[in-house]
Amino acid sequence: MPELPEVETTRRGIAPHVTGRRIVAVTVRQPRLREPVPPELAREAVGQAVETVARRGKYLLLGLPGGTIIIHLGMSGSLRVLADPGPVADRHDHVDIAFSGGRLLRFHDPRRFGIVTWTTGEPLAHRLLARLGPEPLAAGFDGHHLYLAGRQRRVAVKSLLLDGTVVAGVGNIYASEALFRAGIHPARPAGRISLMRYRRLADALGAVLTEALAAGGTTLRDFVDGAGRPGYFALSLEAYDREGQPCPRCTTPIRRVTQAQRSTYYCPRCQRG
DNA sequence: ACTGGATCCTGACTGC
DNA sequence: TGCAGTCAGGATCCAG
């Protein structure tokens, strides 16, 4: 579900409510997520105050004096700030973190592809984060970086964008959208795209992520922010989830194809090369 | 070294 | 109404 704009929207939503607050309880109802929620999370985090709420790619990092809570929302995860005691937990509310001052951070994830874990080491060096590529909205990310990453590679450029070691935080929606904006065919081999066109792609990716962030992210089915509200960028999607509908530029019907078991949407006329 | 495919899990939706 | 099949914002592991 959530890609960079949705995770960042979540970060901005929860940060004011948890920063500076002390963790008074951690309740794990279902530890079996993509990897087990470690027992030491509850044991060690309780009693510490959250100093920072950061994001790296699609990971959220709650920084405490003695460690970091690392959270990934997977395909169907969400985090919400609730009053404590909040509404009765449903069967997919797997983890609650209760704070001083009467707030509750609740991790909800029907498909359980998400992660809630704990590290006492340098968080950016954690195995989940260590290999991530650059942040697409940070200075230093540009077309040249994509060009170098794509050189000598035969994978489709769409797959290159989904590779977190190439660029962090890009998922299925924004990969399709960026390729649409840049006029690049999603199946084009990564090694057969010019530097100039990679520059256009990097710019398109930055623009679409920034616009999606301003809209509070994309809600297709179940994404909600820290306050339980959906994002509105679905209204602005030009290709994703629009199979058969007219291309906003040339009216040719948008096509859906499967690449690496994921749907890709594109305009066969605007994205020929 | 790269690449595509299978896999984890549940829910929503479609067609019979 | 029920049931089977398909698909879904992710990421890792495995052969070939």
A136-146 pLDDT, tens digit per residue, is 999 989 999 99
CA A211 – CA A209 distance, rounded (Å): 5
A260 Cβ nearer than 7 Å to chain B strand:
yes
Nearest nucleotide over every DNA/RNA strand to the A164 CA, judged by C1': C11
Nearest nucleotide over every DNA/RNA strand to the A259 CA, judged by C1': B4
Of A77, A69, A60, A81, give the one whose Cα is nearest residue A18: A81
**What's the Å distance between residue A248 CA and nucleotide B14 C1'?**
28
Q: Tokens 């623009």, residue?
A: A207
Which percentage of chain A shows pLDDT scores above 70? Answer: 100
Q: Which of A2, A134, A136, A186 is catalytic?
A: A2
A169-224, pLDDT tens digit by residue? Answer: 999 999 999 999 999 999 999 999 999 999 999 999 999 999 999 999 999 888 88
**What's the Å distance between residue A112 CA and nucleotide C2 C1'?**
27
* pLDDT band, very low/low/confident/very high, at A1 (cuts 50, 70, 90): low
**Averaged pLDDT score across all residues of chain A:** 96
Q: Which nucleotides of C are covered by protein (CB under 7 A)?
A: 7-12
Of A81, A79, A46, A80, give the one whose Cα is nearest residue A65: A46
A106 catalytic? Reply is: no
Q: Which of A55, A58, A106, A158 is catalytic?
A: A58
Looking at the predicted structure, is the pLDDT value of residue A157 above 70?
A: yes
A31-90, pLDDT tens digit by residue? Answer: 999 999 999 999 999 999 999 999 999 999 999 999 999 999 999 999 999 998 889 999
A232 Cβ nearer than 7 Å to chain B strand:
no
Please state whether beta strands A93-99 and A23-28 pair in parallel, antiparallel, or not at all (unpaired).
Answer: antiparallel
Provide the whole-model pTM. Answer: 0.97
Q: What are phi and psi of A59, to 5 degrees?
A: -100, 140
Of A129, A131, A180, give the one whose Cα is nearest residue A157: A180
CA A74 – CA A80 distance, rounded (Å): 15
A238 catalytic? Reply is: no
DSSP state for residue A129 in the 8-state scheme: T
**What's the Å distance between residue A74 CA and nucleotide C4 C1'?**
27
| A57, A165 contact by CB (below 8 A) | no
